[in-house]
Each structure stands twice: as C-alpha cells, then as structure tokens.
C-alpha cells in the first residue's frame, strides 16, 4: 500500500520493504502501543524501489512518526534523509526512521538486535562467516566486530557485493562455492528460508555442518527454517532470528516513543502468535 491522498495511512508508524512478506513488526509494535497506552497504529506499507523517494516525501508531508525499513531499502533510503545517527553511519545502513528536532533521521537498531543473543557466546566466537551482503549483513559485520570476533568473513552469491562489504569493514571475502568450512558461527542474513517464495530453501548444504559450532539465522518467519532444521539435525547449536527481531524492534520502539517495553512479555506475544499461525 503506497501512501497517497486516496489511501491516507490510519496511523503514525509502519514498515516499508519490497516485497514486504509476512512481517511480525505490526504485531510487536501495535502491542507496544497498546501496552503503553500511546495513540496510533503501526501498519505495513509495501514500497517498490522506484517509489521510495515519493514515499519519503509522503512521510515528511504527513509527519509519520516512525518507520521500520527492511529489504531492499536499508541503504537506498539514506540519501533521502536529513541525517544519520553515529550507529547508522558506522553500519552504512538504516532500519529505523525517526524525527529529531524537525529532521528526518536514520538509525540502525539491527546491531543491538544481533548483539543481544550473541553476547552469551562471545567467548567462544573465534571465527564467523556472514552469509549475504545487504543491510542486515552490514549490521552483522558491525556487531561481530564490536563483540571482538577475531576472524570475520563474508560470502555472497554475487562475489562483487561480498568483496565490497568485506572491504568496507576490513574483513575478507570468501567465494560462495568455498563457504563451507570450520566456523565458530555461521550467520545467515539472506532471505533464503523465509515464508513465501524462499520457504524451504537454505543458504547452507545439509552435509556441511561438520566444522560449524553455532548457527544464527536472521530469518524469523518461520522460526524453524530449513537452515535451522538441518543444523539441529547435525547436532549444531542454533539461534533463531526471532530473538534478533524482538531486540531490534524493542530498540526501535524506544527510539520512537522513549518507552521501554518488557522483553519477557514481548517474547510471549511473539511466540503465542507463532504458535497460532504455525510460524
């Protein structure tokens, strides 16, 4: 749904992406608004890349209070903003739009969302391979560097994108065909496995977990992706993307409203919905 005069948004918050898919962001943020007694509603706005500039113009015209940004807009939206937080500058991608002193700003809460579930494993993370080279991959590289992981590599089906990302962060690029190896962590930022056209797909061969200690799949819908099922079948520990999604979402809500939501209750809301929908 594109913002326009005929379809005025019924609320002050929402998410943009293309294709938007089955996002749980409306569930989380609408629960947060109700929980805190704040006015407004959070809605999905599927936005084609060609319409991104016009969308941002409507955000300004209607003074939409907060926008979540997902694939493929995390980098392309940046030139249309008035400024970036230090975190967003460091990552080179944004997932959150908010207002500061009348200026439309970009922030990145994905880094916080990634670091929270990885923190308990910090001491055992000697090496990490990031799969993908988009905005989420940039946040992953930033988070891993902040956690102090010594050996971080990037692999992407388009080699030039992996090389560009690796160069930006001072890391190394691994050819996609040579990605299987010994890794403390394999972190998937690609949409492979996501509900929709990518459901049932995996960025990792089922026979390739022999040298892997931990798998973190940022896909959260469904919670049990093909990647996680294969990893668990091989006896590898796994982290679900639902945890990352929840932590980045809670950080977004605080950026927009100044309110902290209860992590335990938020997780219960998300897990209850997954149980009902089979996600």
Among 194, 251, 263, CA closest to 228: 194
* Residue bearing tokens 């992590």: 263
| Residue 22 contacts residue 196 (beta carbons within 8 Å) | yes
Topology match between the domains 13-108+244-277 and 112-239: yes
Among 136, 184, 126, CA closest to 156: 136
Does 1.10.10.10 match the CATH number of domain 13-108+244-277? no
Query: Which numeric CATH code is attached to 112-239?
Result: 3.40.50.720
Catalytic site residue 74?
yes
Condensed to tens digits (0 to 9), the pLDDT of residues 103-131 reads: 999 999 999 999 999 999 999 999 999 99
List residues bridging with 183 in a β-sheet: 212
Chunked into runs of 10 residues, the chain (279 residues) has average pLDDT values of 44 90 91 96 96 97 96 95 96 96 97 96 97 95 96 98 97 98 98 92 98 96 94 97 96 97 96 75
Among 175, 166, 173, CA closest to 145: 166
pLDDT recorded at residue 277: 62
pLDDT recorded at residue 11: 59
Neighbouring C-beta atoms of residue 127, cutoff 10 Å? 18
| Strands 13-17 and 42-46, bridge-based pairing | parallel
Neighbouring C-beta atoms of residue 175, cutoff 10 Å? 11
| Residue 144 contacts residue 196 (beta carbons within 8 Å) | no
List the catalytic residue out of 6, 8, 24, 74. 74
Domain parsing of the chain, residue ranges: 13-108+244-277, 112-239
């Amino acid at each position: 749904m594109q913002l326009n005069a005929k379809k005025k948004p019924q609320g002050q918050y929402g998410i943009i992406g293309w294709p938007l898919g089955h996002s749980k962001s409306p569930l989380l943020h609408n629960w947060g608004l109700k929980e805190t007694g704040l006015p407004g509603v959070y809605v999905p706005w599927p936005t084609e890349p060609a319409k991104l500039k016009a969308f941002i113009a409507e955000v300004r015209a209607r003074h939409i209070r907060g926008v979540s940004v997902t694939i493929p807009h995390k980098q392309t939206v940046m030139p249309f903003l008035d400024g970036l937080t230090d975190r967003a500058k460091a990552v080179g991608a944004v997932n959150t739009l908010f207002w500061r002193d009348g200026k439309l700003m970009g922030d990145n809460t994905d880094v916080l969302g990634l670091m929270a579930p990885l923190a308990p494993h910090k001491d055992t993370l000697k090496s990490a391979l990031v799969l993908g080279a988009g905005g989420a991959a940039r946040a992953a590289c930033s988070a891993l560097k902040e956690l102090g992981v010594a050996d971080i590599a990037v692999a992407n089906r388009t080699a030039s994108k992996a090389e560009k990302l690796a160069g930006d962060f001072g890391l190394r690029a691994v050819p996609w065909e040579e990605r299987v190896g010994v890794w403390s962590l394999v972190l998937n930022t690609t949409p492979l496995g996501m509900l929709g056209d990518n459901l049932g797909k995996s960025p990792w061969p089922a026979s390739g977990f022999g040298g892997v200690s931990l798998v973190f799949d940022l896909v959260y819908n469904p919670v049990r992706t093909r990647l996680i099922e294969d990893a668990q079948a091989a006896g590898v520990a796994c982290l679900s993307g639902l945890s990352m999604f929840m932590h980045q979402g809670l950080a977004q809500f605080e950026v927009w409203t100044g309110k902290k939501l209860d992590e335990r209750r938020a997780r219960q809301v998300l897990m209850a919905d997954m149980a009902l929908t089979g996600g």
